[in-house]
Amino acid sequence: MRIVLALGGNALQADPKDASAESQLKTCKETAKSIVDLIEEGHTVSIVHGNGPQVGQILSSVEAGHKANNTNVLFPFDVCGAFSQGYIGYHLQNAISGELKKRNINKNVGTIVTQVVVDKNDKGFQNPTKPIGSFYTKEEAESLSEEKGYVMKEDAGRGYRRVVASPKPVDVIEKATIKELVDNGTVVISCGGGGIPVIIEDSVVKGVPAVIDKDFAAEKLAEILDADALVILTAVDKVAVNFNKPDQKNLDVMNLEEVDKYIEEKQFAPGSMLPKVEACKKFVQFESNKISIIASLSKAKEALRGTSGTRVVAK
């Protein structure tokens, strides 16, 4: 089975208080075990990962250097996204390669720094809402807005932060390269952090300040690769309705009609479970015989066997 795996933050950084590279590599080595379990069973696995905390750390470091040195050097957000793809990809491919060797499985693992096309007219650009980077005073925010054209918004009384759009992915620039590698049996890590958002103007590819949700990027990649399954791995075993309430109900299966009903009831938190469910819905709508699963990282193998996780089905 050809599978696209979307890895949540818990697959990269188990302890939110420890953002060190050493901690991330240790977590990736544990994550690699679940991924290689699937490869060992004969599945072709491609990987998409998030980068929320990591790209925030990179951007904050860049901004801190800018503040301390009073220089004009501020790496653009798309470049910071590329930084995160490189170092998270390195940790994942290092960990997965090591686990494959332990099990005497001969497979190549590689990371592709990936540009993901978005529509420059996406409504997200009209009202940026995704906060990124450091906190600033009102005066600093006004200065950055004037000098750099940043959209700055007050954040819950803690200061001002830059906000960017969160557009939907349209295409993947490196899709032919990714597909060729996957077809040759390589374990490919791509579209990291949702990919580097780019637009195409007059046949020129240009990076834009935005954040693409990694679950939607994984779904788009699954379409491109003609994957059999989109598997979104997170911190919980199943999707639930009435979450954290006395009548919480864990779901084994949701059909598209139920998905729409639960979304209308606002059962799924925006920025958390909602994009996962919406991405699974989109993949099943793309082709009704495809499999979409939301499951915990530790039970990925069981989820594919149908004994854990939540499946999204057409009917």
Does the annotation mark 9 as catalytic?
A: yes
Closest to 24 (Cα-Cα) out of 15, 37, 33: 15
Q: Count Cα neighbours of 141 within 13 Å in the Cβ-side half-sphere.
A: 17
Pair 165, 109: CB distance under 8 Å: no
In the three-class reduction of DSSP (H, G, I as helix; E, B as strand; rest coil), residue 57 is classed as helix
Q: Which residues make Cβ contacts (< 8 Å) with residue 102, sequence separation at least 6?
A: none
Q: What is the DSSP letter of 233?
A: E
Pick the catalytic residue from 50, 130, 133, 192. 130
Does the annotation mark 207 as catalytic?
A: no
Pick the catalytic residue from 10, 81, 193, 290. 10
310 phi/psi in degrees, rounded to 5? -120, 125
- Amino acid symbol at 210: A
Return d(Cα 221, Cα 166) in angstroms, integer: 17
b (16+ CB within 10 A) / e for 38-72: bbeeebbbbbbbbbbebbbbbbeebbeebeeeeee
Closest to 74 (Cα-Cα) out of 87, 85, 58, 86: 58
Pick the catalytic residue from 133, 168, 194, 214. 214
The two structure tokens encoding residue 177: 């390269």
Return d(Cα 185, Cα 174) in angstroms, integer: 17
Does the annotation mark 266 as catalytic?
A: no
Dihedral of CA atoms 98, 104, 105, 111 in degrees, nearest 10, equals 20
Pick the catalytic residue from 168, 175, 220, 276. 276
Residue 262: Cβ within 10 Å count: 18
Q: Which residues are catalytic?
A: 9-10, 130, 214, 276
